[in-house]
Structure 1
């Protein structure tokens, strides 16, 4: 009887092993234990895939010779794991040279992504960043045209000067946004098929013709991003401010809160806490704004106005000059009319669109344009915030929700006690231990 029980146990083990082998051949389970899930897709890539319901085709026009096919298949395996209906296939370009020439394929080939009749080409190198950017452009539904007003000293979208926006715009162009110049002295009004107009910190008086064109554009339902600066309320843009229902307050916004983050110039406004809005939802990065103008909203307007950038409790609008050698000595003078914070310096506006072709009209007014300039766009979350602003203005709310890019362990956070412990351990304790071991070994050898 006992021998029969043993045979039953052995048979059960064989059946269980066979069942496990059968299931493992048809189902797979994957666990990523790497730091920050480095072996899996980043959260932003997963979020983009979630905005592409249905089948997505990825076609690699690559020669079978060489390692490129295997490398791309390894990268795409992460995407297919998150989206099973994403299909990868390869075509040998040598077998169809006419199609290859039509697609402009040469050298190492190309990777094309097709979705609902649209197609995007992935830039080289083929990595997660470029793949997700191409998928994001498909999620947008096509390229978006952003027109930058020029001719009055505005920040240039393709400029390389410190004050220009070239670095930022080169980043967002990969995400399906195309920047074009708009000079009202050469054209009448805003061209059709323009998704957004940007007025970026003019330094000269804006001609009445340009202001009228911008006002007409807003009244007709166009979306607008207006970056203004301190003392820019006298550049002839009053009519534009009236149609938006905002006012630029006099003075420069200064904030002593930055001293806690080793920012000694109070004109550099540091923001780490944001009023609730779709632009700042789940946004926790610190942003830096130099030379800010505070804003105020005018009542009795049909715009829904929501502030999404606000200075701290220790801020105020400073009048007069500030000593560049000792900016931290600036003081609050309420008797001169200076206003105490917290003060808003960015508004998001929306209303029912006057245009029958759109359901909603959106505008953003920010009292600073330096935060997206070539000099400051790399500070903290400045670039990520700029991308969120453009996404919201272009109506891509689903893309505003994308988490911020970046590795999770770029910064080592240590308290002062932890830093003291590391310093004492490596500079004092460890050398003493090694010295004691050396003395002990020498003493034992002498006793022998």
Structure 2
């Protein structure tokens, strides 16, 4: 009896030793096989190329609350990157412990990731390879990009914390390689060389003619421009700039009767939850709020390709009468006075072939409101996200890595009613009957022994 059992114990011992060796090797060497269609569970070749450019550790901080499935989902997603670049470190922070700090850090959505590399930072709000790889690509760029803010005529300042200025929006952009500098045309006659973008943000007084001409020359030579134009100030001296861009500023104040449904009692405040499809607004689902808006129109006979960026609701119109002293309920649309019924555009993304031989495409954005990026309104819903998208597009950061994955051919199974009935019969009747027959046969054979 002992001789018969000895090989069994030996086999068991060898099996345990083999299992221990496999477990030990598994902790030392990781080997992953991707058998999904189109290698959908692995990083694409463009992403691997970007990771090779990052010659140093990358720190990723994700602001996701503990509990639930968000943290494990993010961790599993980032493991693909860590498998290729082991010096990527991941840390999770509970955003509910210090909401004020989260707002100061610009955290807007649950699970938002902040990437840090070589003194630069990037925010990622979408859990996708496309979004994360593009952010890493931006981290690899050396040198600051100069953004010049026109000053000297009451424009919104980029270095001020006053309510009407843009300091809270511009300051975090420094970590992304954006350097804001003042541009005063009383001191310089033209836009300096090396400027990637010029921002004209809501001038309060009339611009001198040489300043307007310098801006027109800059646009005609292929420079990118962001123009924030507020209602209530005609600024006829800027008509040459508007003509050079192929846009027209419509008179009056854009008011929206739809705001009451969103809890807004002031019709001068326009809130948007959906946007015309553009490269800037693609995937933007957050609500944006605009305090006072000027409607815009595009001129068809120009070299520019004008894409509507922001559009009011059908219940909006251009109010031509002052409404500061009137109760909102007394405001009515009056076409007899020349008021225009919505929907009306108040933001355009403009592009054309660049006149400059140094680049292929010239871009400009004109928005009929500057308050949405101001310190007073920046915390409203998706205002910061929209502003960042505008800057990224104007600086060319949208044309980075396009992750093209073929859709899995086996994700959807189409069954007819007859096929569904047959499948149900096989699993509910056929399979149990087969098991019953096999069991009966085995029992019958044992009884015959």
TM class by shorter chain equals 0.5 to 0.7
Return the match for 2:55 from 34, 40, 57. Answer: 57
Paired position in structure 2 for 1:364: 365
Distance in 2 of aligned mates of 1:261 and 1:187: 46
| Aligned-residue offset at 1:348 | 0.3
Distance in 2 of aligned mates of 1:51 and 1:220: 35
Paired position in structure 2 for 1:275: 276
List per-residue Cα deviations over 1:372-408 (Å, max 9, x = no partner). 0010011101011101100100011157999xxxxxx
Decide whether the 8 Å contact of 1:133 with 1:175 is kept in 2.
no
Paired position in structure 1 for 2:254: 253
List per-residue Cα deviations over 1:221-256 (Å, max 9, x = no partner). 000000001133334100000011100111111112
Paired position in structure 2 for 1:18: 21
Paired position in structure 1 for 2:231: 230
Change (3 A) 1:310 1:174: same
Report the 3-state secondary structure (helix = DSSP H, G, I; strand = E; otherwise coil) of the residue aligned with 1:397.
coil
Distance in 1 of aligned mates of 2:29 and 2:48: 25
Paired position in structure 2 for 1:198: 199
| Aligned-residue offset at 1:58 | 2.6
| Aligned-residue offset at 1:173 | 1.6
Decide whether the 8 Å contact of 1:122 with 1:134 is kept in 2.
no
Decide whether the 8 Å contact of 2:148 with 2:197 is kept in 1.
yes
Distance in 2 of aligned mates of 1:154 and 1:166: 13
Distance in 2 of aligned mates of 1:375 and 1:163: 6
Decide whether the 8 Å contact of 2:120 with 2:139 is kept in 1.
no
Decide whether the 8 Å contact of 1:306 with 1:349 is kept in 2.
yes
Paired position in structure 2 for 1:427: none
Decide whether the 8 Å contact of 1:316 with 1:338 is kept in 2.
yes
Decide whether the 8 Å contact of 1:315 with 1:343 is kept in 2.
yes
Report the 3-state secondary structure (helix = DSSP H, G, I; strand = E; otherwise coil) of the residue aligned with 1:362.
strand
| Aligned-residue offset at 1:149 | 0.6
Report the 3-state secondary structure (helix = DSSP H, G, I; strand = E; otherwise coil) of the residue aligned with 1:52.
helix
Distance in 2 of aligned mates of 1:280 and 1:252: 24
List per-residue Cα deviations over 1:199-223 (Å, max 9, x = no partner). 0011111111111000000000000
Paired position in structure 2 for 1:302: 303
Report the 3-state secondary structure (helix = DSSP H, G, I; strand = E; otherwise coil) of the residue aligned with 1:288.
strand
Report the 3-state secondary structure (helix = DSSP H, G, I; strand = E; otherwise coil) of the residue aligned with 2:226.
strand
Q: For structure 2, which runs of at least 5 residues remain unmatched after alignment?
A: 33-45, 59-74, 89-115, 126-132, 404-449
Change (3 A) 1:401 1:346: farther
Distance in 2 of aligned mates of 1:383 and 1:51: 30
List per-residue Cα deviations over 1:32-89 (Å, max 9, x = no partner). xxxxxxxxxxxxxxxx9778341423379xxxxxxxxxxxxxxx99978624454659
Report the 3-state secondary structure (helix = DSSP H, G, I; strand = E; otherwise coil) of the residue aligned with 1:179.
strand
Change (3 A) 1:136 1:324: farther
Deviates more, 1:392-401 or 1:276-285: 392-401
User: What is the RMSD computed on CA atoms of the aligned residues?
Assistant: 3.5
Change (3 A) 1:140 1:248: farther
Distance in 1 of aligned mates of 2:82 and 2:174: 26
Paired position in structure 1 for 2:322: 321
Decide whether the 8 Å contact of 2:54 with 2:140 is kept in 1.
no
Change (3 A) 1:290 1:331: same
Change (3 A) 1:142 1:274: same
Aligned length: 338
Paired position in structure 2 for 1:151: 152
List per-residue Cα deviations over 1:273-316 (Å, max 9, x = no partner). 01111111111111000100010001111101001111112111
Report the 3-state secondary structure (helix = DSSP H, G, I; strand = E; otherwise coil) of the residue aligned with 1:396.
coil
2:245 pairs with 1:244: yes
Paired position in structure 1 for 2:433: none
Decide whether the 8 Å contact of 2:134 with 2:400 is kept in 1.
no
Distance in 1 of aligned mates of 2:195 and 2:147: 6
Change (3 A) 1:200 1:82: same
TM-score (norm 1): 0.68
Paired position in structure 2 for 1:121: 119
| Aligned-residue offset at 1:272 | 0.7
Paired position in structure 2 for 1:171: 172
Paired position in structure 2 for 1:27: 30
1:99-114 equivalent positions in 2, closer than 5 A = 113=117
Distance in 2 of aligned mates of 1:251 and 1:341: 13
Paired position in structure 1 for 2:447: none
Distance in 1 of aligned mates of 2:279 and 2:120: 29
Change (3 A) 1:59 1:18: closer
